[in-house]
């Protein structure tokens, strides 16, 4: 069959064009991976890095082991600034984030830094807040603790692993507001660099209560060192936390869910971004991670890539509104 000259020319041009194309760029291949936990060991961010890092390793989703670096300070602000200003183009780096991160961004507590300076990768669950006391405390319920605060605010100091005005602080204020405490400024909140350090101060008797998340308190619950008096969830958690009452069932309608996930440097390549979104998603989908969630009181929250970024933006906006309502920001 004869082929017309114009068709032959088009075919020849196509062959020439294809032969001149460069080989497609290789997809990102990680080397020495690292996760920054923006607090001292023992807290929720540390838990997120170490548990997800171990699962990535166990599933063969990264080469070797993931290094976990603890970089505490400023309620996550030190780590955020480090990534934005010094490690902006690193492809092997991810950073643990949570509602506490969104809270500090909402309140402008990371000077000169904003949400759009990093790339939001994905979530791995939601961690409901708890309020706990030492095992030998005379306080056994959330209403009892709130009544002590109403009677003598100076007699109760509550420790948390976020900065003043941060998410741990906000959870206590939400509970106090729902309990009818009119002047929330009377609540004595003491900030530490991570939930582990905050619980240590509770056990030492330096404070009378602890506000944090289920996952970061798990080890202390298992050892019997602390007594959980309220879970800030709509209904009782499953698994190991099923025996602990919610604030709601004690007549205080306080809900405090702390999402957990990761961001990467703003200058991370698209290939690296796609890699981390996919691998974090594979962790979430795995049977191994479902077991971690059940053992540590994590509730489902599966958001990836652009969907997670939109969620974080909404989270920041809602926390900013709450912070204005209770007078933390103007």
Domain holding 184: CATH number? 3.40.190.10
Using left for φ > 0, alpha for ψ between -120 and 50, and beta otherwise, residue 41 falls in beta
Q: What's the predicted TM-score (pTM) here?
A: 0.77
- The pLDDT of residue 168 is above 70: yes
For position 212, what pLDDT does the model report?
Answer: 92
Write out pLDDT tens, residues 71-100.
999 989 999 999 999 999 999 999 999 999
- Helix ranges restricted to H, the chain: 5-19, 44-58, 77-86, 99-106, 142-151, 167-178, 195-203, 214-223, 270-285, 287-296, 306-325
For position 207, what pLDDT does the model report?
Answer: 97
For position 126, what pLDDT does the model report?
Answer: 92
- The pLDDT of residue 116 is above 90: yes
Q: How far apart are CA 310 and CA 313, in angstroms?
A: 5
CATH of the domain at 113: 3.40.190.150
Any domain includes 29: no
Confidence band (pLDDT; 50, 70, 90) for 313? very high
- Average pLDDT on 124-131 reads 93
- Average pLDDT on 127-155 reads 96
For position 241, what pLDDT does the model report?
Answer: 85
For position 6, what pLDDT does the model report?
Answer: 36
Any domain includes 7: no
The residue from 209, 233, 250 where one domain ends is 250
Of all residues in the chain, the percent with pLDDT exceeding 70 is 92
The residue from 222, 250, 278 where one domain ends is 250
Number of domains the chain is built from:
2
Q: Which domain holds residue 213?
A: 141-250
Q: How is 248-308 classified by DSSP, letter by letter? A: GGGT-----EEEEEEEEETT--HHHHHHHHHHHHHHHHSHHHHHHHHHHTEEP---BTHHH
For position 217, what pLDDT does the model report?
Answer: 84
Confidence band (pLDDT; 50, 70, 90) for 25? very low
For position 224, what pLDDT does the model report?
Answer: 92
For position 104, what pLDDT does the model report?
Answer: 93
């Amino acid at each position: 069959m004869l082929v017309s000259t114009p068709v032959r020319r088009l075919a020849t041009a196509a062959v020439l064009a294809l032969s001149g194309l460069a080989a497609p760029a290789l997809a990102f291949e990680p080397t020495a991976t690292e996760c920054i936990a923006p607090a001292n060991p023992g807290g929720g961010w540390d838990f997120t890095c170490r548990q997800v890092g171990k699962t990535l390793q166990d599933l063969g989703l990264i080469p070797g082991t993931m290094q976990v670096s603890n970089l505490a300070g400023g309620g996550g602000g030190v780590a955020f600034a480090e990534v934005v200003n010094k490690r902006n183009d690193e492809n092997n780096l991810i950073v643990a984030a949570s509602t506490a991160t969104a809270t500090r961004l909402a309140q402008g507590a990371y000077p000169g830094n904003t949400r759009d300076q990093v790339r939001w990768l994905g979530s791995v669950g939601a961690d409901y807040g708890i309020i706990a006391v030492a095992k030998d405390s005379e306080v056994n319920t959330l209403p009892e603790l709130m009544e002590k605060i109403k009677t003598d605010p100076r007699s109760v100091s509550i420790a948390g692993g976020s900065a003043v005005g941060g998410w741990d602080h906000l959870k206590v204020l939400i509970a106090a507001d729902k309990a009818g405490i009119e002047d929330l400024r009377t609540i004595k909140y003491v900030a530490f660099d991570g939930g582990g350090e905050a619980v240590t101060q509770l056990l030492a008797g330096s404070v009378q209560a602890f506000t944090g998340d289920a996952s970061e308190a798990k080890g202390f619950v298992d050892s019997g060192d602390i007594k959980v008096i309220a879970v800030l969830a709509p209904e009782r958690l499953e698994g190991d936390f099923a025996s602990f009452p919610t604030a709601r069932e004690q007549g205080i309608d306080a809900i405090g869910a702390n999402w957990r996930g990761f961001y990467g440097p703003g200058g991370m390549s698209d290939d690296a971004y796609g890699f981390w979104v996919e691998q974090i998603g594979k962790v979430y989908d795995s049977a191994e991670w479902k077991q971690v969630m059940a053992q540590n009181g994590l509730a489902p929250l599966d958001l990836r890539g652009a969907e997670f970024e939109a969620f974080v933006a909404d989270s920041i906006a809602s926390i900013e509104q709450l912070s204005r309502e209770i007078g933390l920001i103007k």
